[in-house]
Amino acid sequence: MTGATLAGVPVELDAEGFLVDPSAWTEEVAEELARESGIPELTPRHWQIVNYMRTTYLETGQAPSIRSLGKQSGVPIKELYELFPKGPAKLAARIGGIPKPRGCI
């Protein structure tokens, strides 16, 4: 774990850059994580996925897999890969301040 400051907020990140404490997340932190991940701006479609990931995690304790993300978020898998090119579920979880989904490498 390492300490970092994102959007002026001190946070702890794990070795892969995921927030250790999901409650430290803010939209500003998300925007900075997105920029660091190669997404210069979060569009409303990005936010739809990020918010779906966060809500699902906070309600169930687990981040959705790419399969359930494509089926339940309202965004087709092909578009998910266009929005989050480096792995939609993993990247959206990171930006959403939640742990990496199971099954993600």
pLDDT string in tens for the chain (105-residue length): 567 788 787 889 998 889 999 999 999 999 999 999 999 999 999 999 999 999 999 999 999 888 888 899 999 999 999 999 988 999 999 999 999 876 665
Report CA-CA distances (Å) from 99 to 14, 15, 24, 56, 78.
9, 12, 13, 12, 23
- Name all domains of the chain by residue range, CATH numbers in brackets: 2-95 (1.10.10.370)
What is the per-residue pLDDT for 100?
83
- Residue showing tokens 């998300």: 30
Catalytic residue among 75, 86, 104, 105: 104
Q: How far apart are CA 94 and CA 104, in angstroms?
A: 12
Q: How many CA atoms lie within 13 A of 53 on its CB side?
A: 31
What is the per-residue pLDDT for 104?
60
104 is annotated as an active-site residue: yes
**DSSP code, position 23:** G
Flag whether the pTM goes above 0.85.
yes
**DSSP code, position 21:** -
- 90 close to 97: Cβ distance less than 8 angstroms: no
